[in-house]
Amino acid sequence: MADHVQSLAQLENLCKQLYETTDTTTRLQAEKALVEFTNSPDCLSKCQLLLERGSSSYSQLLAATCLTKLVSRTNNPLPLEQRIDIRNYVLNYLATRPKLATFVTQALIQLYARITKLGWFDCQKDDYVFRNAITDVTRFLQDSVEYCIIGVTILSQLTNEINQADTTHPLTKHRKIASSFRDSSLFDIFTLSCNLLKQASGKNLNLNDESQHGLLMQLLKLTHNCLNFDFIGTSTDESSDDLCTVQIPTSWRSAFLDSSTLQLFFDLYHSIPPSFSPLVLSCLVQIASVRRSLFNNAERAKFLSHLVDGVKRILENPQSLSDPNNYHEFCRLLARLKSNYQLGELVKVENYPEVIRLIANFTVTSLQHWEFAPNSVHYLLSLWQRLAASVPYVKATEPHMLETYTPEVTKAYITSRLESVHIILRDGLEDPLEDTGLVQQQLDQLSTIGRCEYEKTFFEQFRKIYIGDQVQKSSKLYRRLSEVLGLNDETMVLSVFIGKIITNLKYWGRCEPITSKTLQLLNDLSIGYSSVRKLVKLSAVQFMLNNHTSEHFSFLGINNQSNLTDMRCRTTFYTALGRLLMVDLGEDEDQYEQFMLPLTAAFEAVAQMFSTNSFNEQEAKRTLVGLVRDLRGIAFAFNAKTSFMMLFEWIYPSYMPILQRAIELWYHDPACTTPVLKLMAELVHNRSQRLQFDVSSPNGILLFRETSKMITMYGNRILTLGEVPKDQVYALKLKGISICFSMLKAALSGSYVNFGVFRLYGDDALDNALQTFIKLLLSIPHSDLLDYPKLSQSYYSLLEVLTQDHMNFIASLEPHVIMYILSSISEGLTALDTMVCTGCCSCLDHIVTYLFKQLSRSTKKRTAPLNQESDRFLHIMQQHPEMIQQMLSTVLNIIIFEDCRNQWSMSRPLLGLILLNEKYFSDLRSSIVNSQPPEKQQAMHLCFENLMEGIERNLLTKNRDRFTQNLSAFRREVNDSMKNSTYGVNSNDMMS
């Protein structure tokens, strides 16, 4: 007993030192001791002791935190009975100690939520023991306001916890838990929350009472967490929040068809103080974003009418919008009116003329008060941009009235920004025009808004309209320019542009913002074929082509002293010059050599540096980096075979060893490796069929050897970096790997190499490149593959090529590698990026087709036996059928329950998945049919019958096409059936 008391006193003293002391050394020592305590075998019993007998809130916090770590660990997890005891103990503890410190209560609720989430699929005597959340909190909800707050907070934290993926557990497990929770509990929690809000608002809340104040806040947080739930498991990027639709399940239809749900939140907004209103508006933003397919046309029109009425009421009583948070959320709500509804639907709303007038007045006032909540302006401009863009497609007879209001919005934006200048200078305020990215975005939005009434605004980008291949040559503008400025035609205007470009580069070469925009203009001018032919005839352009490394362009000088990162503009410059040169060049090799002379000299200088034992590394880096940026610009511009082959013969084989040497020396420095790798990826990219070698030329194979050598060298060295901090992992490692994936994909799909010859002649170049790809892939966590968009796109596009043309290699991999690849495909199927999702469908189709062919061959008696790789691959798939079955469930779930963006792509692997898993598909079908209300089951059964009507057991093109057609009809019929049902479909069985 004495030992327990002494141990307790020691722990409490450590807690005091950790949370209260200002001495850094003491706090670090306490932290180290408490980490050891967390890892000790008797941690569990001592945590209970702290909760039972601890005298300070900090010791209770420590106990709750330690217990959360214990139940979260993946190795050596706690037994089920122990976790049940902890769950029950926490609930009882909260119920018997209402006066705990807020942070202790929060930590204990977090512990309850974590246990519940991680134990969601745990059974005891056929009972899912952790799925009784609503029952668990009932006793809290039936007690005083203080206890009711605890109960609501438990549900809110649980909803949030289940919605958030964590890095310590597989993403697939998270999604299974989240989908099961969604189907079994979330709607009941949402309904409970709405009912409690109705009860609270119906009792005329006394907001002077802090406890009632707290209850309302927690109820609103709970409701928002329910509406903000990731219903279909695809929200990996929070920045896309304002572009997405809320994928409310069909089984929730009743709540949204009932207008009282929407009315509840508008009533709350007007009845509670402004400090609560932002959460109410956040809920309304989500409700306004409910997927269109939840309603039929009549229901959607009715819902929109109620929504617009609520918005009108807020605009008529705008007092609360003086709060910046309210204002911001209301602007988001206005933006959702157009992102989720069509202009043709809006104009049919009864109060549309009055509402559009109110919104226009609100927008103009907002733009005039530019210093108030500047981050919210984006949403207002987004609304008007989308309204204006929709005008050509409106078929409704009702007037949209945008021709009246869009000029007012445009005028308000421009005049307010001009008038802000003297105020900013006078008062020393932050200049909103300094954020060039934001201003460019707003101007892009404004250019669309201005299209409604050009005569009232005359505002558009001059170059895009009047210069280029699509220009009307008889434009009245040129007649007026001739009268006023003496510029008779497009060529003369181009001459003015080029003169200004050269002046900017000559005098502002060290000012990155000016240089960057100037070069972007030059690049844009060089794109149109008609413009380029005019440009190359100008003496100023000929001057640039002949003097591109002279003092006039000192910012590009080969030996300049700028930082490596300041050289990015060089690629843009040489892309433009390359396009101009390509038109002027023809087949004149002498002119080409003259143009490349300075670059040749620079490469020779670098080669000389590398040949000595000691050289100035920083100077060599700077010179090489600048060079490869120049070359990449030229390589990108040379799309024609003649000009590109001149470049290829210039760089290979003479200068390729220099690039390889740079990677070998500076693999750890992305400022150097990224430009080199990007140049190599560009050189092997057969854009516009520019890489064409003579039939007797070995250059295609030799080029791939160089590609393989660079990938292998970089890959093997970058893997020696060891542990890289999370905030630097993309810059130091993943970006280079992503470029290598793109390089390999370009080489494999370029159609200039016969890859069969490598194995035939014992050349290991192909094998080395593919094995390095696998090593690099296995060094990347699954989460990173989807978290970094450029990495996602390069990986999945490469995998698509490998599964199409190199399935024998995939089949030869170790089981854990195959499972890794299949898991990445499974997770990519639900990615937000349509390119990634489509690529995964294609990969899956190739794999399934390969499997189906091998199985078909193995069942035929007169065919040759399977090769070793195929036999092994089949064996792995037969041992792990759950992976393919999971993907069948996922694809079918997306097609039936979600707004499928790439239905054709999804249909291609689905037939093969069904044919490989006929029994499993039959079980899925039965589950879906049985989940329907009795009167709908026959219709759903018929939908599935029609899906397989006329489908044979083969994957021939004709059979696939018939299945794709059947699937389109199937999806329409199922959606119609579900719209007319208030029950919806429970997809729990499918997702698990």
User: What CA–CA distance (Å, rounded) separates 604 from 321?
Assistant: 67
Half-sphere exposure in the Cβ direction for 949 (13 Å, CA)? 13
Mean pLDDT, rounded, for 289-295: 87
Q: Which residue has the higher pLDDT, 87 or 25?
A: 87
Q: What is the pLDDT of residue 660?
A: 92
Mean pLDDT, rounded, for 428-434: 67
User: What CA–CA distance (Å, rounded) separates 349 from 305?
Assistant: 6
Confidence of residue 309 (pLDDT cuts 50, 70, 90): very high
Half-sphere exposure in the Cβ direction for 948 (13 Å, CA)? 16
Nearest to 268 by CA among 365, 175, 196: 196
pLDDT tens digits, 104-117? 889 999 999 999 99
User: What CA–CA distance (Å, rounded) separates 137 from 150?
Assistant: 8
CA 352 distance to own-chain centroid: 35
Q: What is the pLDDT of residue 389?
A: 81
Q: Which residue has the higher pLDDT, 206 or 773?
A: 773
Mean pLDDT, rounded, for 662-691: 91
DSSP 499-518: HHHHHHHHHSTT-HHHHHHH
Both structure tokens of 717: 């060295």
Both structure tokens of 688: 């516009």
Instruction: List the end-to-end C-alpha distance of the chain, in Å, as a whole number.
Output: 49
Which phi and psi (to 5°) does residue 440 adopt? -60, -40
User: In the predicted model, is pLDDT for residue 676 greater than 60?
Assistant: yes
Please check whether residue 326 is in contact with residue 274, taking contact to mean a CB–CB distance below 8 angstroms. yes
User: What CA–CA distance (Å, rounded) separates 638 from 687?
Assistant: 9
pLDDT tens digits, 255-266? 988 888 899 999
User: What CA–CA distance (Å, rounded) separates 97 from 925?
Assistant: 50
Sign of CA dihedral 175, 181, 183, 187: negative
Dihedral of the alpha carbons of 947, 948, 949, 953, in degrees to the nearest 10: 150
Q: What is the pLDDT of residue 168?
A: 72
Q: What is the pLDDT of residue 57?
A: 82
Token pair 């760089």: residue = 651
Confidence of residue 1 (pLDDT cuts 50, 70, 90): very low
Nearest to 800 by CA among 847, 740, 766: 847
| β partners of residue 290 | 246
Strand 123-124 versus strand 127-128 pairing type? antiparallel
User: In the predicted model, is pLDDT for residue 32 greater than 80?
Assistant: no
Q: What is the pLDDT of residue 488?
A: 65
pLDDT tens digits, 841-852? 999 999 999 998
User: In the predicted model, is pLDDT for residue 581 greater than 50?
Assistant: yes
User: In the predicted model, is pLDDT for residue 950 greater than 80?
Assistant: yes
Mean pLDDT, rounded, for 220-229: 92
Please check whether residue 741 is in contact with residue 790, taking contact to mean a CB–CB distance below 8 angstroms. no
Nearest to 782 by CA among 59, 173, 155: 173
pLDDT tens digits, 486-515? 766 777 878 888 888 888 887 777 777 778
User: In the predicted model, is pLDDT for residue 647 greater than 70?
Assistant: yes
Is the pTM here over 0.75, yes or no? no
User: What CA–CA distance (Å, rounded) separates 208 from 455?
Assistant: 56
Highest mean pLDDT among 147-161, 372-386, 825-839: 147-161
Highest mean pLDDT among 41-55, 239-253, 296-310: 296-310
For residue 644, count CB atoms less than 10 angstroms from its CB and return exposed for 0-12, middle for 13-18, buried for 19 or more.
buried
- 666: three-class secondary structure by DSSP: helix
CA distances for 643 relative to 66, 576, 635, 682, 977, angstroms: 67, 15, 9, 14, 60
Q: Which residue has the higher pLDDT, 472 or 853?
A: 853
Q: What is the pLDDT of residue 561?
A: 39
User: In the predicted model, is pLDDT for residue 742 greater than 60?
Assistant: yes
**Ramachandran sector of residue 296 (left: φ over 0; alpha: ψ -120 to 50; beta: rest):** beta
User: What CA–CA distance (Å, rounded) separates 745 from 796?
Assistant: 10
Token pair 């009702």: residue = 398
pLDDT tens digits, 356-403? 999 999 988 888 886 777 778 888 888 888 888 888 777 777 888 888
